[in-house]
Structure 1
Amino acid sequence: MEEQKEMKLKVDKTVWKEMFRYLSIFKKDFLILCGFMVGLAGMDIVFPLLTRYAIDNFVANGDYNGLTLVGVLYGILALGLGLIVFLFIRHAGKIEMGIVYKLRKDAFEKLQRLSFSYYDKNAVGWMIARTTSDATKISETVAWGVVDLVWGATMMLGVSVVMLIINWKLALVTLITVPVLAVVSVFFEKKMLVSYRNVRKINSKITGLFNDGIVGAKTTKTLVREELNIEEFQDVTKDMKKTSIRAATLSAGYLPMTLFISAVGTVLTLLLGSNFLMDGALTYGTLVLFITYARQFFDPILEIARIYTEMIGAQAAAERVMGLLHEKEEIVDTEVEEKEDYGKIHGDVTFENVSFFYKEGEYILKNFNLQVKAGETIALVGETGSGKSTIVNLACRFYEPSEGKILIDGEDYKKRPQSWLHQNIGYVLQAPHLFSGTIKENIRYGKLAATDEDIIEAAKVVHAHDFIMKLEKGYDTEVGEGGGMLSTGEKQLISFARAIIGKPRLFFLDEATSSIDTESEAKIQKAIEEVLENRTSFIVAHRLSTIKNADRILVIDQGEILEEGNHEELLKKRGHYYELYTNQFVEEAGREVLKGKVV
């Protein structure tokens, strides 16, 4: 698994600059929200001034007649405060949902563009965590954190200005603890970031284990691994518990520390203010005002401290999401004009001195050469790991050669858009995958513009129509997640229909009949031959009986062609292919005999 490179152990400006780029999408809503927060801070500042006015002008003089007007003003301000709170919560929620939507949309689009190599190196759980919990963490922090920062900054600035105007000496005493808070913040910063990074990483492991447990439920039960899986999951969750408690402890230590320091500031204000009051340099109303402001001044600091800890936690998530969004795409269209009409693919495929490795230095193919004429059927046989599927994946441009070139109709396929090639490819895998939805929707997935008649025709060609019509809802039958409601053979027939409906010029079958029973195989073998007619095709074969009619059969060993010819020619050579074929024929004949005895 390829993990994210760690960034510096501090609030990284680069990461947050990227995050706030998403916030800029909602610039209008954000500016309105900032206006609400400035208004809210302004009202919070006005309330103590009203109190001061009431105490000094009415309460201290024993004149309560003017308090009615003050009460009315309080009521008006309270109503305005309630309205602003409602509006800012609505706008902040809108921004939060908008950011998480955009993050997930961008992440999903990125996953569609990334090469197969990325999926080879990263577990499904990691990708799911980045697009779900990590994206949620970021959106919450960016939307609500920025709101609180605007309110806090406005509140602190406003309170500071008012206090300095009224009594600058007492104001400086109130503000003297701010540098101490800054030092404490720096101390906690590094430790919290490390802890929250670890929390996010372990969370991804847990997501991955859930995914593996659900997807591999049948394998788990058949191998009786339930207890072992539970133990493994418990180990990871215990680690998560331990790391989360550490992160929470650090946050819990940071917030009380700031609370204590702010309390010291309030006490200092009270002590010095009392002396000023006794000396007649301060009124009762002004003392109450400063004590209220001292508390109000440190409330934003406490809020900023909380936001700070959340930003530390969210930065770990942001690093991971940005790592996905900035992941380099290994296969990209260069010097290509997407809108240019390159015409239809004829079907010639040429490998010119192609070398390829998944891991640098460990070559799967070395100076591999192959020329395939349009309409020719090429079968690839050989031991597991010999390079058969690699040849197919390179021809499909799922991977690109490490060295050498692959030509389609005489042109290096790197000079054409990927879409030009992929729209002309039909691909059927050994393990068919169906998407949640109906049979009709899954077949149409191969050609979105296909009519119902096109879908039925494709199903009939691969002999899937009969079994589909026996189902209660026919083509509208739900296949379940991953096609779980159908048998493996039925799923394979659906995948065949999906592959041919687009009438591709290049066809690839990667051991596509190995999961189908002998009876089903016989039914579709003739259909496959009809489908492949006049189409360039590559067949990776496990059952050699399925490739008798191939134009050329290539015996692959360690990325090299050992033997080449049609079925009859290779049998006459009595070489490697002859041994593979006769051994498999004997094995299959033996199974048929045993089957007959059992019956």
Structure 2
Amino acid sequence: MENSKEMKLKYDKTVWKEMFIYFRTFKKDFMILCCFMISLAVIDLSFPLLTQYAIDTYVEPQKLEGLWLVAVGYGILTIAMTLIVFTFIKFAGKIEMGLLYKMRKDSFEKLQKLSFSYYDKNAIGWMIARTTSDASKISGTVAWGVVDLVWGIAMMFGISIVMLIQNWRLALVTLITVPLLAIISVFFEKKMLVSYRNVRKINSKITGLFNDGIVGARTTKTLVREELNREEFGAETYDMKRTSVRAGTLSAGYLPMALFVSAIGMVLTLYFGSVYLAGGLITYGKLVLFITYARMFFDPVLELARIYTEMISAQAAAERVMSLINENEDIKENSEVLALYGNHYEQKIENWEPLIGNVEFEHVDFYYNEGEYILQDFNLKVKKGQTIALVGETGSGKSTIVNLACRFYEPTGGRILIDGKDYKERSQNWLHANIGYVLQSPHLFSGSIKENIRYGKLDASDEEIIEAAKIVNAHEFISKLEKGYDTEVGEGGGMLSTGEKQLISFARAIISKPKIFFLDEATSSIDTETEAKIQYAIDNVLEDRTSFIIAHRLSTIRSADVILVIEKGKVIEQGNHHELMENHGHYYELYTNQFIEEGERDLLNQHERKNEEKEDGKKKSA
């Protein structure tokens, strides 16, 4: 999703000023690189002056004595130039990689800090493109752009000074085409920036389609979307090709125009220089000097023209990367909290109070889009060790309540208290370190089963990992695997069944012995046998711990202390299972309907199993 702010359709120096402020940690490196480039420009300027001296002193008078000194001078300058070129290429490459590292590191750190709302609004492809292609584009443009920019300006300034000193009239003839180049640059500027912005936008879309195609491969096949996906991707890549060709055409048009203007300058210098030579106003050596400088002058001009197109191209990437790095965090700690508890990466664990487990929603309002309330004046008081089950239709606000309690989002009105204190007065890390969260669709990271369980407690021993697995009844199936706990789970846990992934994610959630548990329909997508194992684990693990359970199968929450029936962000019924069943209200209807459906399903499964057994018996008899 693109930044919604309107961008100026021209070269924006404020963007680059912001970029260079951002890169201020490399200030010393850039200054050293500038010194290299100025030194190289001085050497480049010295060659024509040495040639002029040789022509006027030795060649034209036909004197060969002392000419060897000129050759020695050339040799010394060549060696110096070789060393400088080697050093600045190495140094510029180091800066480029340093800039790229900083942008990717800061972008990734920002993504770790941003709340769920940012991920709700931005596509994965958009974020990937910022930290990959856009960051590479900027680092290359800045590092090597500084090289060519400083060298080009130093060369143009030095050549202008020397030519004005040598013969100011001929110098003005040579420099007369510079304003024309400025006019051409302004003409091409807007068109190139628009084209390059479009290229970057389409590149993000293509990255997103790649991601969707890989992550959603199973869905693609089950929905037979291969042809549709191919057509969508083909349309975007064709658009990328067309837009890139247009951008390249504009750049290709700009550079030849600049080359044409430089050729005009060369012709004017040669013509008037020959006239001045015929009139005895300059020497042969000076004419060669001006012709050489005229050619050399327009080399940096062409380099600056190229840099300009690169800056226009990279500006779109710079805007997008900085928009990510400077993105405001919806959930931010105040200065007092940071001073006491630390931040995401420098945590002051020694100051963290123990979490007891009392949770209270006090007149809480919440909306994702302003004015469209999900919760309004929501109140709930949960005591330590209580199990709260949330029941209701999709979109009723169940997950929102859990996400607010976890502080993945913050209330837009009212407050949430943990152990009697507004949870904004403590750090997010303090709360998150004390909670366990099991999702309906568990996500495992690439690596082994052992590594995935250890993510819940990084300093956990192998014994603790096995103990956690035993508690959730995962040890039995893990032990049967060829490599046991060292078995690789694959991308996203793709090498395991949904039930196995759920058991591992449950072990990961309990290994740190959190004080508050959140189960978001954790048993809705698994088989009955695995559900029974997890339900047994839940009963053991949740004892004396505060827990919130979003329930799909109502049979799993009959032992909950309090069941809340949610409808449009409001609690319409509240009580334990027996109380709600006796009321014959909304919960009673939901439970009885689901009980009948599950009973019918069980009978159907039993019937199918009997038929299969009969068929197997017939085959054996035959």
Q: TM-score, normalised by structure 2?
A: 0.94
| Residue of structure 1 equivalent to 2:572 | 562
Structure 2: which amino acid aligns with 1:535? R
String of CA shifts for 1:562-583, please: whole Å, max 9, x gaps: 1111111111112111111111
Structure 2: which amino acid aligns with 1:566? N
Q: Are 1:269 and 2:269 matched, yes or no?
A: yes
Between 242-251 and 10-19, the greater mean CA deviation after superposition: 10-19
Structure 1 residues 233 and 384 mapped into 2: Cα distance closer, same or farther (>3 Å)?
A: same
Stretches of structure 1 that go unaligned for 5 or more consecutive residues are none
String of CA shifts for 1:372-394, please: whole Å, max 9, x gaps: 11110000011111111011001
String of CA shifts for 1:532-562, please: whole Å, max 9, x gaps: 1111100001011111111111111111111
How do 1:30-429 and structure 2 match up within 5 A?
30-338=30-338, 339-340=340-341, 341-429=351-439
String of CA shifts for 1:281-315, please: whole Å, max 9, x gaps: 11111111100100111110100010000001111
Tell me by how many angstroms 1:260 deviates.
0.8
Checking the alignment, whether the CA contact within 8 Å between 1:2 and 1:121 is kept in structure 2 is no
Structure 2 CA distance for aligned equivalents of residues 354 and 182 of structure 1:
60
SS of corresponding position for 2:336:
coil
Between 120-129 and 576-585, the greater mean CA deviation after superposition: 576-585
SS of corresponding position for 1:542:
coil
| Residue of structure 1 equivalent to 2:491 | 481
SS of corresponding position for 1:374:
coil
String of CA shifts for 1:506-527, please: whole Å, max 9, x gaps: 1000001112210011122121
Structure 2 CA distance for aligned equivalents of residues 419 and 23 of structure 1:
29
String of CA shifts for 1:352-410, please: whole Å, max 9, x gaps: 11111111111111111111111100000111111110110011111111111111111
Between 562-571 and 73-82, the greater mean CA deviation after superposition: 73-82
Structure 2 CA distance for aligned equivalents of residues 438 and 342 of structure 1:
31
| Residue of structure 2 equivalent to 1:581 | 591
- What number of residue pairs does the alignment pair up? 599
Structure 1 CA distance for aligned equivalents of residues 2 and 285 of structure 2:
63
Structure 1: which amino acid aligns with 2:374? I
Structure 1 residues 554 and 23 mapped into 2: Cα distance closer, same or farther (>3 Å)?
A: closer
Q: Are 1:540 and 2:539 matched, yes or no?
A: no
Checking the alignment, whether the CA contact within 8 Å between 2:337 and 2:425 is kept in structure 1 is no
Structure 1 CA distance for aligned equivalents of residues 381 and 468 of structure 2:
30
Tell me by how many angstroms 1:65 deviates.
4.3
Structure 2 CA distance for aligned equivalents of residues 162 and 2 of structure 1:
49
SS of corresponding position for 2:7:
coil
Checking the alignment, whether the CA contact within 8 Å between 2:365 and 2:376 is kept in structure 1 is yes
| Residue of structure 2 equivalent to 1:471 | 481
Tell me by how many angstroms 1:22 deviates.
4.1
Structure 2: which amino acid aligns with 1:424? N
Structure 1 residues 303 and 2 mapped into 2: Cα distance closer, same or farther (>3 Å)?
A: closer
Structure 2 CA distance for aligned equivalents of residues 286 and 101 of structure 1:
49
Structure 2 CA distance for aligned equivalents of residues 323 and 372 of structure 1:
40
SS of corresponding position for 2:368:
strand
Checking the alignment, whether the CA contact within 8 Å between 2:360 and 2:382 is kept in structure 1 is yes
SS of corresponding position for 1:132:
helix
Checking the alignment, whether the CA contact within 8 Å between 1:336 and 1:417 is kept in structure 2 is no
Structure 2 CA distance for aligned equivalents of residues 104 and 18 of structure 1:
17
Checking the alignment, whether the CA contact within 8 Å between 2:54 and 2:70 is kept in structure 1 is yes
Checking the alignment, whether the CA contact within 8 Å between 2:177 and 2:262 is kept in structure 1 is yes
String of CA shifts for 1:313-340, please: whole Å, max 9, x gaps: 1110000011111111111112533335
Between 541-550 and 19-28, the greater mean CA deviation after superposition: 19-28
| Residue of structure 1 equivalent to 2:530 | 520
Structure 2: which amino acid aligns with 1:392? V
Structure 1 CA distance for aligned equivalents of residues 426 and 143 of structure 2:
42
Structure 1 CA distance for aligned equivalents of residues 63 and 477 of structure 2:
94
String of CA shifts for 1:416-470, please: whole Å, max 9, x gaps: 2111211111100001011111111111111112111111111111111111111
Tell me by how many angstroms 1:70 deviates.
2.1
SS of corresponding position for 1:380:
strand
| Residue of structure 2 equivalent to 1:503 | 513
C-alpha RMSD of matched pairs (Å): 1.3
Checking the alignment, whether the CA contact within 8 Å between 1:354 and 1:368 is kept in structure 2 is yes
Checking the alignment, whether the CA contact within 8 Å between 1:346 and 1:505 is kept in structure 2 is yes
String of CA shifts for 1:69-120, please: whole Å, max 9, x gaps: 3223222222221111111000000000000000000000100111111100
Structure 1 residues 335 and 19 mapped into 2: Cα distance closer, same or farther (>3 Å)?
A: closer
Checking the alignment, whether the CA contact within 8 Å between 1:428 and 1:509 is kept in structure 2 is yes
Percentage identity across paired residues of the two chains: 73
Tell me by how many angstroms 1:2 deviates.
5.3
Structure 2 CA distance for aligned equivalents of residues 24 and 61 of structure 1:
55
Structure 2: which amino acid aligns with 1:5? K
Stretches of structure 2 that go unaligned for 5 or more consecutive residues are 342-350, 610-622
Structure 2 CA distance for aligned equivalents of residues 361 and 38 of structure 1:
59
Structure 1: which amino acid aligns with 2:172? L
Structure 1 CA distance for aligned equivalents of residues 23 and 422 of structure 2:
42
Structure 1 CA distance for aligned equivalents of residues 219 and 144 of structure 2:
44
Between 177-186 and 371-380, the greater mean CA deviation after superposition: 177-186
Tell me by how many angstroms 1:64 deviates.
3.4
Structure 1: which amino acid aligns with 2:17? K
Tell me by how many angstroms 1:50 deviates.
1.4
Structure 2: which amino acid aligns with 1:30? F
Between 334-343 and 210-219, the greater mean CA deviation after superposition: 334-343
Structure 2 CA distance for aligned equivalents of residues 87 and 453 of structure 1:
54
Tell me by how many angstroms 1:3 deviates.
3.0
SS of corresponding position for 1:267:
helix
Checking the alignment, whether the CA contact within 8 Å between 1:100 and 1:135 is kept in structure 2 is yes
Structure 2 CA distance for aligned equivalents of residues 399 and 7 of structure 1:
30
Between 93-102 and 484-493, the greater mean CA deviation after superposition: 484-493
Between 60-69 and 248-257, the greater mean CA deviation after superposition: 60-69
Checking the alignment, whether the CA contact within 8 Å between 2:2 and 2:201 is kept in structure 1 is no
Structure 2 CA distance for aligned equivalents of residues 2 and 157 of structure 1:
41
Structure 1: which amino acid aligns with 2:439? L
Tell me by how many angstroms 1:249 deviates.
1.2
Structure 1 CA distance for aligned equivalents of residues 539 and 43 of structure 2:
80
Tell me by how many angstroms 1:4 deviates.
4.1
SS of corresponding position for 1:231:
helix
Structure 1 CA distance for aligned equivalents of residues 335 and 107 of structure 2:
25
Structure 1: which amino acid aligns with 2:408? F
